[in-house]
Structure 1
Amino acid sequence: MTDMPGLMVTHEFMPFAGAPSNAYRAEVTIANTTGAPLTDVRYARMMDWDVPPTEFSEFVTILGSDAANVLSTSDDGFATPDPTAIPLFDIASDPCGVDTDFVKCGPDDHGAAFVFGFGDLADSETVTFDIFYGAGEDEAEATTILGEIGAEVVSLGYSSIFDDVLGESVPNVDSPVFFFAFSEVGGDIIFPDPTPDPIPTPEPGSLGVLALGCLGLGLFRRRRN
């Protein structure tokens, strides 16, 4: 994770006790034991969705891009895993949106990319936050689990299905919906209701985008499905 002596980044993996077994938690701790303050501490995480059975043609949602510790977000699973490379993707070229929330953008070969900033870290100081991976049998169960988790930043991955009436692909909300989420990163809980309403699907013709809305120490890890 880092070659700086005295800087330790740990990931403790465990099932999430408050949700069904299809939710998994990674507790991330960044500890400064270098003997001196560290400035502009960042953590980046990238992943590629490939949601079955329509791998490389999925819909994706990102919510919580305005959380206090979020520096940049993108649907680009192949973004350079460099916390200093902000924005994470060419804003003009990304049909979904960079550094903003969007809902069910696609279909395309999507991922999720996030850079978090934790400011300065004094000697012997630590910062801790959580990453969650999992899925629900459908969108309703996925968002319910995210409410139990207390997710503040979320990416949701949907398979696509061809709608004979519309003549185009649409997000499949009734098949398993996968999530990649974070908590304790300075945001509001996105699904506070234990049984939240489903996320509205964009109207046909607007499925492309729904916009809702320091160089220093770099820490990164990239995960591919």
Structure 2
Amino acid sequence: MLLKSLRMAALIAGTTLVSPVVLAQAVLQSGDVRLGVRADGALNVADPAALDPGYGATGITFVPSGRDALTPGCWCEAWGVADQVSSRFGSAGAETGTQNIVVESFTSTATTATSVTRVVDGTGALFRVTHAFAPASAALYRVNVTIENISGAPATVLYRRAMDWDVYPQRFSEMSTINMGSSPKIVFASDDGFANGNPLSGPSSLSFTGNATDNGPADHGALFDFNFGSVAPGAKVTFSIFYGAAANELAAMAALSAIGAEAYSLGKPNPDAPGAAADGSPNTYIFAFAGIGGAPIAGGNVEAVPVNAPIALGLLSAAISMAGLLGTRRKRRPGGRGSL
């Protein structure tokens, strides 16, 4: 795992950071899914009540198995948005750091959370980005994403989301599936879950690009890049992300069918690991998109799920930064991925 440790060090070294303070976070639980949400809209947070023994953190946890698929090892999950025309961007991630992101507000209840951020650089404000988390089903959380152009010029909106699967029972050796679907707005996908959130950082991969089924076993995840085209000042882009888990692949696909997913990744356990099976037991993890202009891969509908009125935690008008610097989070193993 030395290569991955060096890779993360390089990503962090190339990131311009501000104050190493996490301003707020929330741990949400509904149905079979427990989700850790940062104030900047990324996943992975410290959680004293975490279900997965020994890690003290929550990213995406399948409640029946009590296992988390994001926080073992590095907290590698990130997002970012950019204007392709001006090359201005903002990105957020616990491991790779946060650039040009100001948290405008963060609100939460026991089951919902809403992060509102602004992309602000030396030129001024560019985008307002809202990630509104709410239960979609027993197996899935929906994140309604809104990207508003708050600059004075048209912007070609790029969005990236990446995550590294670490699936129980053999972490760092899982199977990754990606189905890009039919939407022309997805311009690239791969298994590089370690990627920086900046959409302008370019395509990267570990074992494959594009579609793949049960690729692995390997230490990898999923990366999706979107191009939503030109957006006028004051106009908005909206779509949905889904995070979740199920007992096996069949149950995961049924959950995706029910919400009309248009693209997705599955993280499945190594079938040769003790306690695992080829059907994705005991836990298959889900990362999906809808409302992106593609056909539902397995039927269903893509109507938005309303978010319950959350409890305000207050305006956080300060730049947020890399939670990867928190000394209480984990220790690195020499030459390998960290553990908590």
| TM above 0.5 | yes
Match of 2:187 in 1: 71
Deviation of the 1:33 alpha carbon: 2.5
Deviation of the 1:85 alpha carbon: 3.1
Instruction: Structure 2 unaligned segments of length 5 or more: list them.
Output: 1-100, 102-118, 302-321, 325-340
The equivalences for 1:1-225 within 5 A come to 1=101, 2-3=119-120, 4-5=124-125, 7-16=127-136, 19-20=137-138, 22-38=139-155, 40-64=156-180, 66-89=182-205, 94-95=206-207, 97-98=208-209, 100-162=210-272, 171-192=278-299
Match of 2:46 in 1: none
Give the conservation status (yes or no) of the 8 Å contact 1:107–1:170: no
Gap change, CA 1:223 and 1:153, over 3 Å in 2: farther
Gap change, CA 1:44 and 1:193, over 3 Å in 2: closer
Q: Distance in 2 between matches of 1:65 and 1:150?
A: 11
Gap change, CA 1:136 and 1:170, over 3 Å in 2: closer
Deviation of the 1:137 alpha carbon: 1.4
Gap change, CA 1:223 and 1:137, over 3 Å in 2: farther
Deviation of the 1:87 alpha carbon: 2.3
Gap change, CA 1:118 and 1:63, over 3 Å in 2: same
Q: Distance in 2 between matches of 1:111 and 1:159?
A: 12
TM-score (norm 1): 0.74
Q: Distance in 2 between matches of 1:223 and 1:129?
A: 27
Gap change, CA 1:131 and 1:193, over 3 Å in 2: closer
TM-score (norm 2): 0.50
Identical residues among aligned pairs (%): 39
The alignment covers a number of residue pairs equal to 183
Q: Distance in 2 between matches of 1:136 and 1:105?
A: 19
**Partner amino acid for 2:145?**
V
Q: Distance in 2 between matches of 1:41 and 1:223?
A: 26
Larger RCO (CA under 8 A, 6+ residues apart)? 1
Q: Which has the higher strand share?
A: 2
**Partner amino acid for 1:86?**
G
Structure 1 residues 124-157: Cα deviation after superposition (integer angstroms, max 9, x where no partner): 1101000100011111110000001111110001
Give the conservation status (yes or no) of the 8 Å contact 1:49–1:110: yes
Q: Distance in 1 between matches of 2:189 and 2:255?
A: 22
Aligned-CA RMSD value? 2.6
